[in-house]
Structure 1
Amino acid sequence: MNTVELAPHRIAGLLAPAVDRVFRAGMLAGREGGGAELSQRYGGPTASGFLVDLRTRLAAPGGTVDGPGFAAITRYRDPVVCRRTVDKQVAHGMLHRGPDGALSATERGAAFLAELYQVHAEVTEELWDGHAERVSRLVAVLGRLLSYALVLADEEGDRTGSAFAAMAPPYEPEGTAAGVLLLNRLGTLRYHRADAHAAAWAAAGHTAGSIAALPAGPERLAIELETDRRAAGPYSVLSADERLTMLADLAALPG
């Protein structure tokens, strides 16, 4: 086995598109399998949009996302549009915004999120039917990755303005379905890489706007490689075999 290919920074780059594919498949299944209808019952996307994005933190009793965390999560969106969207969701009685800008779910918002978790349980069970062992293995390995990522974040000190810090660990009430655990742990891991990517492009002198417009080429490749390096830390907790197995398990899941 060529263990060089399985070094943490290398596997971070290889896993990113696989994580994205499986996560997006699960979220799409949720929208098509009842999520859209659920949203309409609560007022539509205008009322529920950010609740879906922030579900794994705001579903937790007392869960909040502070202002800097929300800014990090939405760093590629127009902040004025985001603020107006939040205004509408507050007006719909789905979100509460504190004096310091922190967001939390209202009682109605929490009810929506409880139903959304159930929708995701049903659709992921169908989407990944026949892959129970693979899903279980991925849930376990993602749990280890996220736990170690939190340890590393604490060691680094100030976590202000980190999307990962705002969203980790995902809320997992007792009895949460394996498919939901997988979906939400993948989503949280994506925030870890998103922070790494933001740090990489910022170090290269870019803004959220300029990096979005940067074409493929040597400069973008250098930023992606630096992203891999910054995102690699959690993967050091896995053996080379475990890294390869994770990649193979994700590749084998339908969606």
Structure 2
Amino acid sequence: MSDGVELPPHRFAGLLAPAVERVFVAGMLAGRDGGGAELGQRYGGQAATGFLVEFRTRLAAPGGTVTAAGFAAVTRYRDPAVCQRALDKQVAHGMIHRRADGAFSVTERGAAFLAEIYQVHAEVTEELWAGHDDRVRRLVETLGRLLAYALVALEEDDAAGAGEAFRVMAPPYEPDGVPPGVLLLNRLGALRYHRADAHAAAWTAAGHTAASVSALPDGPERLAIEQETDRRAAAPFGALTADERLTMLADLAALPG
């Protein structure tokens, strides 16, 4: 198979994004419906737990901290004032501790919630992807390579603000004994933010803001931004052969959700 003709990295980046999104969202929805929502209510509901779930793979790590810059990057399409008020509520619920510089980490109570969330995700992903053990293991291995490649590339990028969302979400926290379904879910989640940063860089280069690009209709300008996003997101996929790229797409397509 010809790597340059059949499926070059930039084309693969565009095909992979919706496949990653579908499987990741399916896993997260299964977690919500399979006990996550009930668990959240025990700790105070959405007002107490929202950002803990979103940033779980950073905050669950011992000493895990979300920087102010990382938080802003992940929430770049949301109203900053609304996000800060939501954080205020989670501080008030005793779930997170916020530092003077805007960074935050979990309290003991928040850490207990996250440990339970990991268990919920273990149970629901085992059920959701039952019978697909080989595919899940193959995807986990491939995603591990991609994330490692992307993290090394990020460390070599001296541009201010480069990769801020990915920087705070990767590598995901993976304690000993975490089952393959959780590894897959969280590694997919981290990879999503690699593309999110590439997209932000593309629309920034085109003169847009988060608000203006969100309002941009379908057409040549949006298409150009998406193509530039594919180009910027493509680098890690050069670590895979063309056959490995096709296998990754096929494995994602075969997973229920």
Quickly name the TM-score band, shorter chain normalised: over 0.9
Corresponding position of 2:196: 194
**1:175-231 alpha-carbon deviations (Å, 9 max, x no partner):** 001000000000000000000000000000100001111011000000000000000
C-alpha distance in structure 1 between counterparts of 2:99 and 2:158, whole Å: 25
C-alpha distance in structure 2 between counterparts of 1:60 and 1:118, whole Å: 15
C-alpha distance in structure 2 between counterparts of 1:151 and 1:6, whole Å: 24
Question: Is 1:55 aligned with 2:33?
Answer: no
1:118-133 equivalence runs, <5 A: 118-133=119-134
For residue 230 of structure 2, the aligned residue among 224, 228, 231 is: 228
Question: Is 1:203 aligned with 2:205?
Answer: yes
1:106-125 equivalence runs, <5 A: 106-125=107-126
**1:80-127 alpha-carbon deviations (Å, 9 max, x no partner):** 000000000000000110111101011000000000000000000000
Change (3 A) 1:196 1:27: same
Normalised by the size of structure 2, how large is the TM-score?
A: 0.98
Q: How many residues align?
A: 255
Q: Give the aligned residue type for 1:196.
A: A
Q: Give the aligned residue type for 1:184.
A: N
Q: Give 5+ residue unaligned stretches, structure 1.
A: none
C-alpha distance in structure 2 between counterparts of 1:152 and 1:105, whole Å: 29
Over the matched positions of the two proteins, sequence identity in percent amounts to 76
Corresponding position of 1:89: 90
Change (3 A) 1:184 1:119: same
Contact 1:159 1:165 in 2 (8 A): no
Question: Is 1:72 aligned with 2:73?
Answer: yes
Contact 2:2 2:242 in 1 (8 A): no
**1:122-170 alpha-carbon deviations (Å, 9 max, x no partner):** 0000000000000000000000000000000011125646100011100
Corresponding position of 1:41: 42
Question: Is 1:145 aligned with 2:146?
Answer: yes
Q: Give 5+ residue unaligned stretches, structure 2.
A: none
Corresponding position of 2:239: 237
Contact 2:6 2:242 in 1 (8 A): no
Normalised by the size of structure 1, how large is the TM-score?
A: 0.98
